[in-house]
């Protein structure tokens, strides 16, 4: 930690700052510039109340030197984390292939899930998404089918072989959701729901952690750290658009978060172009942008009849549009030296 | 709901839009302007997937007419909600008096809580704040004393008579926290933690609901609606600063949210100048601004020794600074025709 | 324009609203819903003070129906605007080819400009960028070489044949800059400098109009409208990142602005990945994302020795990194059915 | 400047960093921590390209130590700048009195200006505001009366004695506007219009400098520095709301900017509650909040008939509402130990 003192600090005030730091067990290193004296603090920053320091006389600013995340950082792990899914476990997230997850916002019924699963699998999706527990801003809106929805998802997996990604919102439901899902999704509104993060950290199921509407990249990594610190190392980070002043789109997709995250962490980075744009015609351009910028995967909303969807109809793709998206995703992935393959394509 | 169609829409497309709306049980009302045709939808907007409509051919935009909150709205209740606390219940939040809650960010021990309680009560605070369960962005930071902290809070209340406000973060702890606290605080990061909101809605304890870092005023009211819809009508809304691009302050206090909320809802509005500013020297100006703009109460962080606080030391006031704040709050409250009184002052 | 009235509006208040609208020469159309009465206003919206309407008794909200831009809109022009540059005019912006402009932030001297021009031309850039007049947030920072810089740019064009793009900041310098430049750049800070926009609108030189740090897409189109309304139809719009709460990058590149603009307007869309990211390692991923999302061109900062650049060194690419960027841009352009070609490649 | 190096930097890379810094004429001071080595740079930071440094191998981050503004800073001037206006010069901005400026958004005609001037003067305003040159986001909207408007303002001043504040948008008009106005207003969209700032810096007329829609507090001070550096020391800073994601208000008034600015600079701080809120019913609460937080003055839009105003009708106050505002402003000013007086009150 570095302490910048005020101009013309008295020797007494400087002594008290040094005393305060050393009392916490750190060493100090004083550097006198032409206009400011700087106090470097050497040792365990955690032992010091960084924020309290600013209340000492003569302290102008306190600047931390180290990044707050540890297990999530590149310094912790040199190679990339790759997450294997499916039975056989031939879907790898965080490898050379760009992996696409697709399906409706909500599980609305058995037939629509089977139809959608078959369509997106045929088009190239490797995982099926679908919400059984839905976070809705209104208490009067459709809240999801609950465990009945999870059962439908499990039945679809049994038939198609597609691993399932579905949201968990409540620490009391982690065990239940983990018993059905292949990947547990933590929604944007729960990025800093720390009890929930700790709970999914205790279960051996991969986690798809979405960035909060106003979450910084550092906070997203700290949220992942909550999961990792509990022993669950299979965390994917998901950029899904942040909240800005612009209202032409539902959110603003922070495409730069992809290369920033790839540099800071070894965890896979997924992008959700559907929530980022919030309009169907934006989904494909945003998906392609994400792949071009280095995303390891996409999660896309697809619905048999978007105009009648119970949630997120505005941003859901029809089957045909999703098929076109996959063709273009594959082309862009190859253009940057990656791949996007699927079994039905091979046969 | 109002549907704006695209320029030059065909009669067939217009017919399909009307059909779609009427199939959901609403009536339509077509208005042909010089450049656009508008379709008004009359009836239960909830029966229609507003967002799905935009996927119909010929739809340019869909504009909702009604506000999404009901119980929280001024149309639901003409008078203001006033929440009575204490034994005897002589502290009224939402009445003429500006009510101040004060105390440390975290409960750090018995002695510091008793010292702080006596000091802030003497200075004019009516409620004591203190966190036993702490949401921390790092899993490695102090997470609060848990139930031991709640017990200390209850002991302080027993001696001082001050009602207690403390945070609940986990739906599994609502019952526990409600058994100790007079007011359950929902933190900013949990504004849209819907299972938690529903759970506190089922308990008959007042709730202090903080606005999320990027929560809109409408979303804050919808979060309150989750609590109200479960039957708990005692909800206070708390402005605590929103996240913007400005980094000179921890957050940006949205002081205009106070008069906007007072016009939209009958619920009391509290302001947290400590988190809004994030620096001790900003707390008093922001507190005074909040009172001048019409806040019904304040929640302020006070610590016996801010430079050693385990959390939020940067923004905590010393006892003497808090005493001065109270004097000025009282003066400003009177200047706008309100009051700010406390028992020790009277005697 | 649509007027939503308050619940329970009196017939008298409704009459006064209708009177007010009709006095401005518009017709009204009243639609009574179950909870709200709506007044549609038919005719010239401009004749009515939209904002003043909200001060009439019984008005809850006023919602405009039409978009405010005209010449910039797709309704005005069916085909895309293509801007031809160079002598011969074989560089086309807004056609099938993705066109790349490159060069240093500032013109720092003759030699560095010739070196850079040759390097970026060889790598595939079609235009040369370089600032002679520099907007700097500090009055004490290097402000550019002024007309001497323009002369160097003209000399480089004479030798290489590359058209020049350079910034104009002051309405008094428009004539001067237009006499040297092929494309006049309006910087982000001047997006709503209306006298400057009008002035460049009167000159027959293409304009590269950058989006302001907090400019909405609608405001960007309205700024273009200022230029177009003066008779200069050759305007390119440039996304260069917007200001958000995220500090990991200099700005947040709003990649969705590309498909939104391509749908709203016939004008070409350029992206500046250098200012958007603000760090050299982000430039290539952001450039590829922009191309994948449909950008018509890129403007990239390249410097012979970025660590010694007089401005924007942090985000400037070395020659070798730019050459790699061009190879990847070409591959991604082809993957989505476009092209990115350059003469040296052909020969 | 402080350079944080990457973990495990090689001695060679460290040497090259030191060499690079010393070649620019600064001294270095190396501090080896447990996890990071820090290089302090002592001397003239301006001689070093801070941003270029990040491109050197082994540099993780560069942190500036000094603030970029000089003449605007408290270190430059111990006392507060007080600006005297009027003939006799008995209106003092930056002293004990809170000074209120009021008038319509635009000068729309002679009679409405005389009416408004008399009404706001009677109510307690000390300066008259009114725009003759109007920055409008649409080229098709009313652009102001130009010099005819300035003449009306001068005639009103001749009769009422009220000093005039009016906007200047174009460096070519600075001389003209200065010949009529007592205070030249720089609008929010021009906060970083550097040629305009330099031009008003050369004229001996006070300047009211508005914060840009996304201007940071530091950038606002740097914009003031442009004016101050040219020799014009009479600059007032104006908070007028910033752009955030919240759409319930036109802008978000950053009330904390007031105490932050009062601590950083000796220049007076004015607040514009009209543009900040954008709705008439918000103007008074925001004005009172600004005064309570320490503002030196207010600038308020008042119109004889807001519903027919040619611009900003939504946020303009009627005369009676302004009179009430002034009574409350006076009461709040006194509550915090300041004053708000006016001649008509005394007599």
Residues in chain B closer than 8 A to D252 (CB atoms): 242, 244, 252, 254, 256
Contact call for C65 and B31, based on CB within 8 A:
no
Give the pLDDT band (50/70/90) at residue B58: very high
How far is the alpha carbon of D131 from chain C, nearest alpha carbon, in Å? 15
- The answer for A 7-36 residues in CB contact with B (under 8 A) is 20
Pick the residue from chain A with its C-alpha nearest to B226. Answer: A139
Pick the residue from chain C with its C-alpha nearest to D169. Answer: C195
The minimal CB distance from A35 to the residues D4, D66, D245 is found for D66
CA B319 – CA B55 distance, rounded (Å):
59
CA A177 – CA A146 distance, rounded (Å):
10
Task: Provide the token pair at C207.
Answer: 């304009």
Helix B319-335 to helix D319-335 angle (10° resolution) is 150
Domain A83-346: CATH class, spelled out: alpha beta
Q: Can you give the pLDDT of all 347 residues of chain C as single tens digits? A: 889 999 889 999 999 999 999 988 888 988 888 888 989 888 877 777 767 888 899 998 888 888 889 999 998 887 999 999 998 899 999 999 999 999 999 999 999 999 999 999 999 999 999 999 999 888 988 899 999 999 999 999 999 999 999 999 999 999 999 999 999 999 999 999 999 999 999 999 999 999 999 999 999 999 999 999 999 999 999 999 999 999 999 999 999 999 999 999 999 999 999 999 999 999 999 999 999 999 999 999 999 999 889 888 899 999 999 999 999 999 999 999 999 999 876 54
Taking alpha carbons only, the member of B304, B294, B307 closest to residue B130 is: B304
Residues in chain C closer than 8 A to D212 (CB atoms): 214
Pick the residue from chain B with its C-alpha nearest to D293. Answer: B285
* Cβ(D232)–Cβ(D204) below 8 Å: yes
Residues in chain D closer than 8 A to C312 (CB atoms): 51
**CATH 3.30.70.1140 domain extents, chain A:** 2-63
Complex ipTM value: 0.95
Tokens 């720390």 belong to A194
Task: Provide the token pair at D283.
Answer: 């103007």
**Chain A / chain B CB contacts < 8 angstroms:** 132
Please provide the average confidence, as pLDDT, over all residues in chain A: 94
Q: For the range A64-67, what are the long-range contacts, defined as Cβ-Cβ under 8 Å and sequence gap of 24 or more?
A: A64/A1, A65/A1, A65/A2, A65/D4, A65/D33, A65/D35, A65/D36, A65/D38, A66/D35, A66/D36, A67/A218, A67/A264
The pLDDT value given to residue D177 = 98
Pick the residue from chain D with its C-alpha nearest to C142. Answer: D46
> CA torsion sign, B282 to B287 to B290 to B292?
negative
The pLDDT value given to residue A52 = 80
Residues in chain B closer than 8 A to A141 (CB atoms): 46
Contact call for A34 and D42, based on CB within 8 A:
yes
Contact call for B256 and D277, based on CB within 8 A:
yes
CA C298 – CA C329 distance, rounded (Å):
10
Q: Is the pLDDT reported for residue B346 higher than 60?
A: no
Q: Is the pLDDT reported for residue A195 higher than 50?
A: yes
* Cβ(D23)–Cβ(D16) below 8 Å: no
The minimal CB distance from D307 to the residues C20, C137, C310 is found for C20
Contact call for A36 and D66, based on CB within 8 A:
yes
B52 touches chain A (CB under 8 A): yes
* Cβ(B192)–Cβ(B238) below 8 Å: no
Contact call for B243 and A189, based on CB within 8 A:
no
The minimal CB distance from A169 to the residues B55, B140, B195 is found for B195
Percent of chain B with pLDDT over 90: 78
Contact call for D68 and C138, based on CB within 8 A:
yes
Q: For the range B60-64, what are the long-range contacts, defined as Cβ-Cβ under 8 Å and sequence gap of 24 or more?
A: B60/B4, B60/B5, B60/B6, B60/B36, B61/B3, B61/B4, B62/B1, B62/B2, B62/B3, B62/B4, B63/B1, B63/B2, B63/B3, B63/B4, B63/C2, B63/C63, B64/B1, B64/B2
Pick the residue from chain A with its C-alpha nearest to D250. Answer: A245
pLDDT tens-digit readout, A62-115 = 888 888 899 999 988 879 999 999 988 999 999 999 999 999 999 999 999 999
The minimal CB distance from C244 to the residues A244, A286, A290 is found for A244
Taking alpha carbons only, the member of A273, A278, A266, A277 closest to residue A325 is: A273
C263 touches chain D (CB under 8 A): no
The pLDDT value given to residue B77 = 83
Contact call for D255 and B255, based on CB within 8 A:
yes
Give mean pLDDT, residues B235-255.
97
* Cβ(B104)–Cβ(B116) below 8 Å: yes
D346 touches chain A (CB under 8 A): no
CB atoms within 10 A of CB B103: 31
Give mean pLDDT, residues D167-179.
97
- The answer for D 290-329 residues in CB contact with B (under 8 A) is 290-294, 328
Q: How buried is residue A247: exposed, middle or buried, by Cβ count under 10 Å (0-12/13-18/19+)?
A: exposed
Contact call for B289 and D285, based on CB within 8 A:
no
Disruptive mutation site among B2, B6, B63 for chain C (greatest number of C CBs within 10 Å)? B2
pLDDT tens-digit readout, D56-91 = 999 988 888 888 899 999 988 879 999 999 988 999
Give the pLDDT band (50/70/90) at residue B36: confident
Q: Which of C325 and A30 is assigned the larger pLDDT?
A: C325
The minimal CB distance from A285 to the residues C216, C259, C276 is found for C259
The minimal CB distance from B33 to the residues C38, C65, C247 is found for C65
The minimal CB distance from B194 to the residues A135, A280, A315 is found for A135
Which chains have 3+ CB pairs within 8 A of B? A, C, D
The pLDDT value given to residue B34 = 79
Q: Which of B80 and C47 is assigned the larger pLDDT?
A: B80
| Cis amide bond preceding D88, omega within 30 | yes
Helix A280-292 to helix C280-292 angle (10° resolution) is 140
CA A340 – CA D22 distance, rounded (Å):
50
Q: Which range is least confidently modeled, A251-265, B231-245, B299-313? A: B299-313
In degrees and rounded to multiples of 5, residue C28 shows phi and psi of -120, 160
* Domain topology for B2-63: Alpha-Beta Plaits (3.30.70)
Disruptive mutation site among C246, C277, C291 for chain A (greatest number of A CBs within 10 Å)? C246
pLDDT tens-digit readout, D115-156 = 999 999 999 999 999 999 999 888 988 899 999 999 999 999
Contact call for C292 and A332, based on CB within 8 A:
yes
Per DSSP bridges, beta strands A91-93 and A83-85 are: antiparallel
The minimal CB distance from D254 to the residues B246, B331, B335 is found for B246
Pick the residue from chain A with its C-alpha nearest to B195. Answer: A170
Give mean pLDDT, residues B63-85.
90
Contact call for B4 and C40, based on CB within 8 A:
no
Q: Is the pLDDT reported for residue B347 higher than 50?
A: no
Contact call for A38 and D243, based on CB within 8 A:
no
Contact call for D51 and C139, based on CB within 8 A:
no
Q: Which of D137 and B217 is assigned the larger pLDDT?
A: B217
B4 touches chain C (CB under 8 A): yes
Residues in chain B closer than 8 A to C250 (CB atoms): none
Q: What DSSP element (H or E) covers B3?
A: strand B2-5
Pick the residue from chain C with its C-alpha nearest to A283. Answer: C256
Percent of chain D with pLDDT over 90: 78
The minimal CB distance from B65 to the residues C4, C40, C245 is found for C4
Task: Provide the token pair at D12.
Answer: 């060679």
Give the pLDDT band (50/70/90) at residue A43: confident
Residues in chain D closer than 8 A to C308 (CB atoms): 49, 52
Give the pLDDT band (50/70/90) at residue A345: low
How far is the alpha carbon of B261 from chain D, nearest alpha carbon, in Å? 10
How far is the alpha carbon of B52 from chain A, nearest alpha carbon, in Å? 4
D260 touches chain B (CB under 8 A): yes
Residues in chain C closer than 8 A to B65 (CB atoms): 4, 33, 35-36, 38
How far is the alpha carbon of A314 from chain B, nearest alpha carbon, in Å? 5
pLDDT tens-digit readout, B177-200 = 999 999 999 999 999 999 999 999
Taking alpha carbons only, the member of A108, A104, A98, A151 closest to residue A128 is: A104
């Amino acid at each position: 930690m570095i302490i910048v003192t005020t101009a013309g600090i008295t020797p007494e005030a400087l002594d008290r700052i040094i005393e305060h730091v050393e009392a916490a067990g750190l060493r100090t290193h004083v550097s006198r510039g032409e206009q400011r004296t700087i106090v470097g603090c050497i040792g365990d920053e955690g032992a010091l109340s960084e924020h309290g320091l600013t209340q000492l006389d003569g302290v102008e600013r306190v600047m931390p030197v180290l990044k707050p995340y540890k297990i999530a950082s590149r310094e912790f792990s040199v190679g990339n984390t790759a997450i294997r899914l499916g039975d056989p476990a031939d879907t790898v997230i965080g490898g050379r292939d760009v992996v696409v997850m697709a399906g409706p916002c909500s599980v609305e019924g058995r037939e629509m899930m089977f139809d959608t699963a078959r369509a997106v699998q045929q088009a190239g999706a490797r995982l099926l998404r679908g919400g059984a527990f839905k976070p809705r801003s209104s208490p009067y809106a459709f809240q999801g089918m609950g465990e009945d929805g999870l059962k439908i998802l499990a039945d679809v997996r049994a038939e198609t072989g597609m691993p399932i990604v579905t949201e968990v919102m409540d620490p009391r439901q982690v065990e239940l959701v983990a018993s059905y899902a292949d990947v547990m999704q933590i929604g944007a509104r729960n990025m800093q729901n720390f009890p929930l993060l700790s709970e999914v950290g205790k279960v051996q199921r991969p986690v798809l952690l979405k960035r909060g509407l106003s979450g910084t990249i550092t906070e997203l990594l700290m949220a992942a750290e909550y999961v990792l610190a509990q022993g669950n190392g299979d965390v994917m980070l998901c950029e899904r658009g942040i909240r800005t002043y612009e209202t032409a789109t539902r959110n603003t997709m922070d495409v730069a978060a992809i290369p920033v995250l790839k540099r800071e962490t070894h965890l896979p980075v997924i992008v959700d172009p559907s929530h980022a744009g919030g309009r169907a015609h934006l989904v494909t351009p945003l998906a392609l942008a994400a792949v071009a910028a280095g995303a390891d995967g996409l999660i896309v909303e697809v619905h048999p009849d978007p105009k009648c969807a119970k949630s997120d109809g505005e941003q859901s793709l029809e089957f045909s549009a999703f098929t076109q998206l996959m063709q273009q995703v594959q082309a862009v992935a190859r253009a940057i030296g990656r791949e996007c393959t699927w079994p039905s394509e091979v046969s």
